[in-house]
Amino acid sequence: MYRYDEFDAAFVEARAAEFRGQVARRLSGALTEEEFRPLRLMNGLYLQLHAYMLRVAIPYGVLNGGQMRALAEISERYDRGYGHFTTRQNIQFNWPKLRDAPDIIDDLAKVGMHAIQTSGNCIRNTTTDPFAGVAPDEIEDPRPTCELIRQWSSLHPEFTFLGRKFKIAVTGAEADRAAIRVHDIGVQLVRNAAGEPGYRLFVGGGLGRTPMIGKVIRDFLPKADLLPYLEACLRIYNLFGRRDNKYKARIKILVHEVGIEEYARLVEEEFAAMDGTAAPDAAEVARIEAYFAPPAYRERPATSALFERMKREDAGFAAWARRNVHPHRVPGYAAATISLKPIGGAPGDATAEQMRMMAEVAERWSLDELCVTHEQNIVLPHVALDDLYAVWTRLRAQGLDAANRGLVTDIIACPGLDYCALATARSIPVAQMIAERFTDQALQEKIGPLSIKISGCINACGHHHVGHIGILGLDKAGVESYQITIGGDATETAALGDRTGPGFSYEEVTGAIGALVETYLERREAGETFLQCYRRLGMDAFKERLYAAA
């Protein structure tokens, strides 16, 4: 994984010192709250319902054991002993004090971390496939591209006061596990007919109150042109994006209003006029790529007798192996998902002890690497098949062994009314109620792949539009009302979910999800997933049962 050199370290330290000064100037009144706001947001500090919230950047989700331990430490020293991993592959602390924020930032800098650009109207933390570097179907590792973008976008002098936030996601495989089509810019590594590596670029995707699927702006962009091209995309957005209404300020609205052809024309014109100074030289690219060279794997047989035996002997382990263990490009290894969705838990939450346990497991059995997923789980990317049982046993001691990756209880939920100042409804308790209804492992596996995503307001941080089942919590005259969508999809077959009809009360929502699942189980054809079944049958088949009782 990438490690800071002296320059990265100096950059982050300078930023930490600057932030300390800004907090002091806010407290002295030199900065008004209005002026301080974008500055603190640029450092990940939000004012929430009950307290400040600090969002720490985990660049493209990747961290090592030492960094995970530091997060555990911070959660204990400055917070309430837990943290919340987010759909942006970051972590949030929900209870820090303003006066502690500079110290937290300093503590982060000591382990090569920061909170730069985790919020505010700037280029946010770049996200990617949690199986980056190990997925067998990958064309190329997307992380060097992410790191290039991370550096280029850090405190960009031109793009730090944009009209609205700006999110970039990168994938190295055709199968899209990074939801690139619902980002402001999506970057896909591809090869052209001549076999040369390059990028396919999408623009104007996004969720929020006006969800849109991104459109292709370039089918093939040579690798060396990426940063200049991004600069052109951002400049056109910065100059022409709307500033009159914050709900119409995202790039998706600009692309929608002027049309993808016109936006592309402006970008191409800008790009053609650039002198190429924005592109990093080959030596810099090679320097970054070297950090992502495959680690020192041991040579191992492709199968493991121990792994096979333990699956036969321990049904719990077998279930975990079926659901949470993923293929790896190196023989004898696997990637494993640590589910942060135990039944009854808050999706994405981890206590300090759990973080330490994950750090220990990673150090011991995953070449000191972890990756936060946009599904709010943690991936151990390099576990030997021989070690999987030991890993699982260890994780079980901290309740981190839920065998539900991708299943109905692997629910994504935003913080909602329990924490978020913008929320119109609760989301965590809804996730908990639904998970309780589907506790039975056999039932979960019978249902198969099903992603439920819950947002506590129209801002859609829980990505409900692209959940196979999406739940949006609204406020109807002081009462929570949950609107359900089905058929959403964040992958290469991206689609926005369709609304089923009138919303459901807090008490009704679990039953409604039950009705949808029952309909699917009754009507599915052999091997058909929920999403495929919905696409075949259409809305009416599901609606009937859903509203029958009402």
Partner 1 sequence: MPLRDDTGPIPDDWTRVEPGAPLARRSLLALEDAEARGEALEGVAPEALGLAIPNDTERARLAPWLSRVSLIAVAFPAFNDGRGFSLARALRAKGYAGRLRAAGPVIADQYAYLRECGFDEVEIPEALAARQPEAQWAAAAKRVGLAYQQGYDGRRNILAARAEARER
Residue closer to partner 1, measured from CB, 150 or 200: 150
**Interacting stretch for partner 1, rule CB under 8 A, among 6-14, 292-300, 351-359, 532-540?**
6-14
DSSP string, 401-458: ----TTSTT--EE--GGGT-TT-SS--HHHHHHHHHHT--HHHHHHH-S--EEEESST
Residue closer to ligand SF4, measured from CB, 59 or 456: 456
Rg (CA), the chain: 23
Q: Which of 193, 194, 272, 283 binds partner 1 (CB under 8 A)?
A: 283
Q: Does 455 bind ligand SF4 (CB under 6 A)?
A: yes
The residues, ordered by sequence, that sit 6+ positions from 337 with a Cβ below 8 Å of its Cβ are 323, 324, 325, 326, 373, 377, 378, 379, 380, 405
Q: Which of 4, 9, 20, 25 binds partner 1 (CB under 8 A)?
A: 25
Q: Which of 457, 490, 494, 531 binds ligand SF4 (CB under 6 A)?
A: 457
Q: Which of 226, 249, 414, 494 binds ligand SF4 (CB under 6 A)?
A: 414
Rounded least distance, CB 399 to ligand SF4, Å: 25
User: Per-residue x/- mask for ligand SF4, residues 68 to 107, rule CB under 6 A?
Assistant: ----------------------------------------
Q: Which of 420, 490, 494, 512 binds ligand SF4 (CB under 6 A)?
A: 420
Q: Which of 415, 488, 497, 503 binds ligand SF4 (CB under 6 A)?
A: 415
Q: Does 478 bind partner 1 (CB under 8 A)?
A: no
Rounded least distance, CB 457 to ligand SF4, Å: 3
For residue 216, the cross-strand partners are 202
Q: How many Å apart are CA 280 and CA 152, to the nearest integer? A: 9
If we measure between CA atoms, which residue out of 475, 535, 494, 540 comes closest to residue 211?
494
Continuous segment of H or E residues that includes residue 321:
helix 315-324
Q: Does 435 bind ligand SF4 (CB under 6 A)?
A: no
For residue 139, the cross-strand partners are none
Residues 250-279 that bind partner 1 (CB under 8 A): 273-275, 277-279
How many Cβ atoms from other residues are within 10 Å of residue 136's Cβ? Answer: 11
Q: Which residue has the tokens 């058929």?
A: 487
Q: How many Å apart are CA 378 and CA 338, to the nearest integer? A: 5
Q: Strand, helix or coil at 256?
A: helix
If we measure between CA atoms, which residue out of 359, 358, 312, 305 comes closest to residue 332?
305
Residue closer to partner 1, measured from CB, 233 or 400: 233
Which of ligand SF4, partner 1, none is residue 258 near (CB under 5 to 8 Å by kind)?
A: none
Q: How many Å apart are CA 323 and CA 453, to the nearest integer? A: 19
Contact 85, 128 (CB under 8 A): no
Q: Does 159 bind partner 1 (CB under 8 A)?
A: yes
Q: What angle do CA 456, 457, 460 make, to 5 degrees?
A: 90
C-alpha atoms less than 13 angstroms from C-alpha of 188 in its C-beta half-sphere: 27
DSSP state of 492: T
Residue closer to partner 1, measured from CB, 197 or 280: 280
Which of ligand SF4, partner 1, none is residue 235 near (CB under 5 to 8 Å by kind)?
A: partner 1
Q: Does 208 bind ligand SF4 (CB under 6 A)?
A: no
Which of partner 1, ligand SF4, none is residue 38 near (CB under 5 to 8 Å by kind)?
A: partner 1
Q: How many Å apart are CA 190 and CA 548, to the nearest integer? A: 47
Which of partner 1, ligand SF4, none is residue 121 near (CB under 5 to 8 Å by kind)?
A: partner 1
Two tokens, residue 221: 């962009």
Find the distance separating the first CA and the last CA of the chain, reported in whole Å.
Answer: 54
Q: Which residues bind ligand SF4 (CB under 6 A)?
A: 414-416, 420, 422-423, 455-457, 459-462
Q: Which residues bind partner 1 (CB under 8 A)?
A: 5, 7-8, 10-11, 14, 18, 21-22, 25, 29-32, 35, 38-39, 121, 151-152, 154-163, 235, 238-239, 243, 273-275, 277-281, 283-284, 287
